[in-house]
Every structure is written in structure tokens, then in C-alpha cells.
Chain A
Amino acid sequence: MNPKFWRHALRTASVLVFLLAWQAGSVLNARYQYLNPILFPSPLDMVRAAYDEAVQGILWGDIGASLARVFQGFGIGAVVAIPLGCATGYFRRLEDCVDPIVELFRPIPPLALLPLFIIWLGIGEMSKVLLIAFSTFFPIFLNTTEGVRSIDPIHLRAALSLGANRSQIFTNVIIRSALPSIIVGLRLGFALGFFVLVAAELIAADSGLGYRIQESRNFFLVDRMFVGAAIIGVLGFSFNYALRRLEDLLLRWRTTIVQAQA
């Protein structure tokens, strides 16, 4: 077997051992009552709770509501941030106009603006979606700008001497060369959007995974609180993984192994 296989095996084993240890600890705790077992459910308790939620139909509703918010917000943020970031990275003048404003807003944690968004837009979907859009904007914008700015001038010269015009240079050189940075921005933006989503749902929502955690607390359903957190973790992991695969696919030119040495 190759080393890669063993690495994967080890990583999987590590997760399994963690879950088994947790399960064993819970079983012992249930017998000897060191801690109140209600407050510390086992992995199997969580699976049972998740199954109940799924049967009742609330689980899918929550996941759907949360994902809809994060994707809408993330989509809006990306659609605004990428073109603006490209333009800002390319035109010096524009950079001097846009940069100070971005720097002014950037240090404000998005959650500090949640009450404002709620006052302006109500408790409905709009306030959460736009807050997520707002928070995802910054990492995407900044990384796009940085990517465009750090283009190697020799690539621009090469394209010029090969007869490319401005728009051809934009699509064939600028976007391509900035793509690694843009994807990093998207990944960071998505993670931040997810973070803001859950926080916003804890505070102001009537559906979604964050809301369910809060509601379960009111009914003292600790296993369901754990389920909510675990599902958020799994979703975050899955999307980050998907984005990384997409990155590998789009950026094969950067990651290929050097094989041919003449």
C-alpha cells in the first residue's frame, strides 16, 4: 500500500477512536453517574435524536433553511466582491477611492451590525441573508484585489506582444492569474458566512440549525443541541472539502508534480 493510503487510514482511525472513546465514556458515566448523563449525551444518543428529528421532518427543514440563507448571502457577496475586487486591483485610481471605505468597515465584526439589519429589514430572511452577504464580501474582495494586484507584469507584456487586447488580457491573464487568490477568498468568505449564519439564527430566526439549538435549550433537549452543533460541523466540513476539490480541479496547473526533468 502507498503512503497516501496509510495517511487516510490513520486519519479515519483517529476520528473513529475519538467517537468510540466518547461512547465508552458516556456508557461508564451512565452507570456511575459522575456527571448528569442528560447534559452529556453519547454519540449514539445524538444519532437517535437526529433520527427522531428527521422522522418528524424538522431536520431537513432546518438544514434547508440554513443552507438557503448561507448560499444566497454568499452568492450576493461573491457577485459583488469579485468584479469590484478585479476593478479595484486593476485601476490605481479606483483603489484609492474604494480602499479607505473598505478599511473603515472591515474591522467591524458583522454581528455588531445584526441589530441594525434587523431594525432596517425586519426579522425575516432579508436581514440574515444581507448580513451574510456583507460579511462574506470582505474576504472575497480583499483576496481578489490582492490576486489582481500581484499579477506578474511579464505575463501582461507577453500577452501584449502576442497581440491580446484589453478584454482578452482580462479573461486570459488577469482572471486566470488571480484565480488562486479568489478561491482562497471564497473559502474564507464561506467560513465566515457560516459563522454569521449560525449566530444570527441563535438570536433572530424561526427556523434553521441555529434556531433549533436555541429552541432545544428552552425544552432542555441537550441531545438535540448537540445534534445541531454536529450537523453545522459536518456541513461546514463538507462545503470546505468541496471547495478544496474545486480548487484542485481549477488549479491543476499549480499543483502538478514536477515529473519531467531533462
Chain B
Amino acid sequence: MGYELQVIGVRKVFRPEDGRAPLVALERFDLAIEKGEFVCILGPSGCGKSTLLNIVAGFLVPTEGQVILDGVEVTGSGRDRGVVFQEHALFPWFRVWQNVEFGPKMAGVNPAERARIADRYLDLVGLGAFRAAFPKELSGGMKQRVAIARALANDPKILLMDEPFGSLDAQTRRLMQDELTKIWTATGKTILFVTHSIEESLLLADRVVVMTARPGRIKTVLPAPLTRPRSDVAPDFVALKAELQGLLKDEIEAGGEARPTTGNNPGRQTL
């Protein structure tokens, strides 16, 4: 098996405690990612992207199916998968370098080695000068760079990112996308990246996985063989963008945004 990550027949049903009808968030999801590959999951809001990522991260247990990382079945969260959340996931009570060295510290690495690791990854994300700052003193983009450094400091097999740039302004977001591409090139990490931005997926990914509206299934997997660094005005970019727009439009119309109030008919509800 040459795959770094395999998601096999994963299904997730949420059963609310208050007696509302169960909600099928993911349906028969299959995906295999090669080592060093950059894969984006693209889908309408509420289609189950975060659910999928949380299952791979080990925060959620799938109702059916399994996740296999480097040949071993995932049974819980672990340091072999680095997670970058949408925002505010840095520990605000720790300074930047303490955040970055957190993983190695938990693993019992000695302080000198930890400091070396923290410095290396802070330099990689270009924040060496801010090692002693508190997260509160950083801008949104800087915080996310620290979050990436923190996830990388554990030297994980795969980086899981759930709309990490979703709350940044457009310009910072573009900068961060370039930055991430550089980091990915420098480290050769496998990356699974969730977004609902078509441009973002095309600026970053080797392959774009398009999901259906809830219950989330794979609609199409679209390879994006564009040369890097990527430009959002290149003709092949524009062509792929139009194709993805068409695919996504159907799903949004199919009810990706609609949230059933009774839960009797989760999935395809239109008003």
C-alpha cells in the first residue's frame, strides 16, 4: 500500500440526545491520499467537511468504516496527525515559543532540544522575531502561522487543516496561501485541507475533492495539475475554476445551506 492516508467507507450519523431525528453527516466516504500529496476538500457549508477532518484527527469516531494512516488504523487523536484549526486554537496563556514546543514537551523532549525545534519551525514560518510574544499580540495571519509551526513541531505524518484561513482578510489570506505552499514544498508533508473557497482549493491542491450537500459524499475528485507558483488569472486556472463552480452550484442549490429544523428530512431540504 503506497498510501499515507486511507479513508474507507466512512459514515457518520449524529444522534442528538434530545430525541431529535438522527442526522447523517457523512455517507460512504472513500479517499486515499499519497505521501506528500496536497489534497483539498471542497464543499458547501454544512456538508460534513469538518466532520470528516475530525474523524481523521481522531476527535470523532465514525459510525461505520475506518481510517488508516500509514498502514495503521486510527483509533483516537495522536501526535502523528498535526491539526490546524480555523482560529483561536493557540494556547493564549503560553508565549509563541511555548506553543510551538508544546508537542515535543508533552513527548518528554529535553528543553534544549525543544528550544531548537521551536526556533527551527518559527524560522520556517518567518516568525522568529516573535518567539516571546503572547498570541494576543499577533495578527490573525501570524497566529495561524504559529499554529502551523506548532503542528509541524511534532513532525507529524500528515497535516490536517480545517479552513485555517477562513477568518482572515482577503490579502492576508493570499499571503498565507503562498506561505503554506512554500512550507509544504520545504517539508514535503502530506496535507489534507478543508475549504469552501474554490480559489483557495485551486491555489493549493494537487487534487480537489468536491463533496455533495449533506449527507456528504464525494461528488468528484478533480486533479489540479497546475504549475506552481499558481496564478488565479492563468487560463487553465480559470477553466478549472469554472468547472468547480458548476459542480458546487448544483450542491448549494441541492440544499447545502438549508438546515432542517425538525430533522425529519436531513439532507435534501429546499425551501
Contacts and interface: CB of A to CB of B under 8 A. Distances in A.
Contacts of B89: 154-155, 157-158
Contact of B133 (A152, A157, A164, A260): A260
A150 interface: no
B82 A260 contact: no
Interface string B136-160: 1111011000000011001000000
Contact of A162 (B130, B137, B141, B154): B154
Interface stretch (A134-142, A165-173, A223-231): A165-173
Interface in A212-262: 252-254, 256-262
Which of A157, A162, A254, A258 has most chain B Cβ within 10 Å? A162
Interface residues of A, number: 28
Given A173-B91, A252-B134, A260-B138, A157 B59 contact: yes
B103 A260 contact: no
B77 interface: yes
A259 B139 CA distance: 9
B163 to A, nearest CB: 13
B93 A253 contact: yes
Contact of A155 (B91, B134, B141): B91
Which of B91, B93, B107, B151 has most chain A Cβ within 10 Å? B93
A221 B16 CA distance: 70
A113 interface: no
B22 interface: no
Contact of B83 (A161, A177, A260): A161
Interface residues of B, number: 36
Interface of B is mostly: loop
A159 B91 CA distance: 9
A96 to B, nearest CB: 15
A177 B90 CA distance: 12
Interface string B33-63: 0000000000000000000000001110000
A111 interface: no
B134 A154 contact: no
A252 B133 CA distance: 11
Interface string B67-90: 000000000011101110100111
A98 interface: no
A99 to B, nearest CB: 20
Contacts of A165: 106
Contacts of B78: 161, 163
Contacts of A58: none
Nearest to B153: A162
Which of B57, B77, B79, B103 has most chain A Cβ within 10 Å? B77
A160 interface: yes
A174 to B, nearest CB: 11
A199 interface: no
Which of B91, B139, B150 has most chain A Cβ within 10 Å? B91
B237 interface: no
A12 B160 CA distance: 56
B102 interface: yes
17 contacts: A157-B59, A158-B91, A159-B106, A161-B77, A161-B81, A162-B150, A162-B151, A165-B106, A177-B93, A252-B134, A253-B135, A254-B92, A257-B137, A260-B130, A260-B138, A260-B139, A262-B142
Interface of B: 57-59, 77-79, 81-83, 85, 88-95, 102-103, 106-107, 130, 133-139, 141-142, 150-151, 154, 172
Q: Please provide the 8 A-B residue pairs with the shortest distance between their CB atoms, ordered closest to farther.
A: A163-B79, A162-B103, A160-B77, A161-B83, A176-B93, A262-B139, A253-B134, A164-B106
